[in-house]
């Protein structure tokens, strides 16, 4: 994790300062997201770096920085470090635990984002064999990998970490999703009908789904659109509007309302009725 200085518009490669550096045993599952929270601290997603099926059994191990979400202070470094460790981090002062860890038991959080209205941290977790998950990340949370894949047993004989396993808020079988891309809670004004909806997608299938989460309950969980995109990321404007990045097409898209509404069991008889063509 590096920081660069900028003059407001450009930064120079020679200004790089490495904040954190740690070994990745393999080239895959090496994280994919950093985000600042409402508290001003930097949250860092690290993959398990462990090949297939958590080969190095690092998912439940809090003595390293892998398979975790870290939380550090980049403004007030501790002595001997380029960063500080917030005093309220859950494993601060615990023997044989890295104090940078905020949550653990995560195979590969590809994208995570804060709902800055509530402060909630939502993460899309790429599973391995059968399941893809959405997690609401909590302080000290253990999300099960690789004892479990989501709420399902994976290697139940493996050792458990120091805290109990939390369940996903939503999970999909691989018939629907195969490489989940976490998104945002929609807070824009252009599409009021999905206000407060957590919108997320899938890299492999191109499907975009959403749900509302109120008082610990998932509501209105549904597919919003089925695209041909390779959804690699979501973006959010200062106004709360959402954008979708297509890796294959190299384009940025946004959601719009469909102009065609089909009644149940009423198959379109003309191409003009499908909504696929403007002419």
pLDDT digits (tens, 9 = 90+) for 159-186: 999 999 999 999 999 999 999 999 999 9
Q: Which of 191, 249, 269 is nearest to 224 (CA)?
A: 191
Tell me how crowded residue 88 is: count the other CB atoms within 10 A of its CB: 10
pTM of the model: 0.91
pLDDT of residue 270: 84
Other residues' Cβ atoms within 10 Å of the Cβ of residue 18? 9
Output the CA angle 226-230-234, nearest 5 degrees.
85
pLDDT at 260: 67
pLDDT, residue 271, reads 85
- The list of the chain residues with pLDDT below 50 reads none
What pLDDT does residue 266 have? 76
Q: What is the pLDDT of residue 263?
A: 63
Q: How far is CA 146 from CA 48, 56, 79, in A?
A: 9, 10, 35
Residues 6 or more apart in contact with residue 268 via CB below 8 angstroms = 262, 274
Closest CA to 243 of 176, 184, 177: 184
Give the model's pLDDT for residue 279.
Answer: 74
């Amino acid at each position: 994790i590096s920081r660069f200085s900028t003059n407001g518009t450009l930064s120079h490669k020679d200004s790089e300062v490495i904040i954190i550096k740690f070994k990745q045993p393999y080239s895959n599952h090496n994280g994919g997201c950093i985000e600042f929270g409402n508290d001003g601290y930097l949250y860092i997603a690290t993959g398990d770096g462990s090949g297939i099926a958590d080969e190095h059994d690092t998912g439940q191990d809090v003595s390293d920085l892998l398979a975790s979400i870290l939380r550090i202070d980049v403004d007030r470094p501790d002595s001997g470090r380029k960063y500080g460790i917030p005093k309220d981090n859950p494993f601060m002062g615990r023997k044989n635990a890295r104090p940078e860890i905020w949550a653990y038991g995560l195979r590969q959080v590809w994208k995570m984002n804060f709902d800055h209205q509530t402060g909630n941290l939502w993460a899309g977790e790429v599973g391995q064999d059968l399941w893809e998950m959405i997690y609401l990340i909590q302080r000290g949370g253990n999300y099960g990998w690789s004892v479990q894949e989501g709420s399902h047993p994976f290697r139940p004989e493996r050792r458990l970490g120091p805290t109990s396993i939390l369940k996903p808020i939503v999970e999909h079988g691989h018939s629907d999703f195969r490489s989940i891309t976490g998104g945002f809670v929609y807070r824009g004004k252009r599409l009021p009908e999905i206000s407060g909806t957590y919108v997320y997608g899938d890299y492999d299938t191109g499907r975009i789904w959403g749900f509302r989460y109120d008082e610990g309950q998932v509501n209105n969980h549904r597919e919003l659109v089925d695209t041909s995109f390779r959804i690699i990321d979501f973006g959010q404007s200062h106004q709360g509007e959402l954008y979708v990045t297509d890796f294959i097409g190299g384009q940025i898209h946004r959601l719009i309302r469909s102009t065609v509404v089909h009644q149940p069991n009423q198959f379109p008889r003309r191409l003009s009725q499908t909504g696929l063509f403007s002419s």
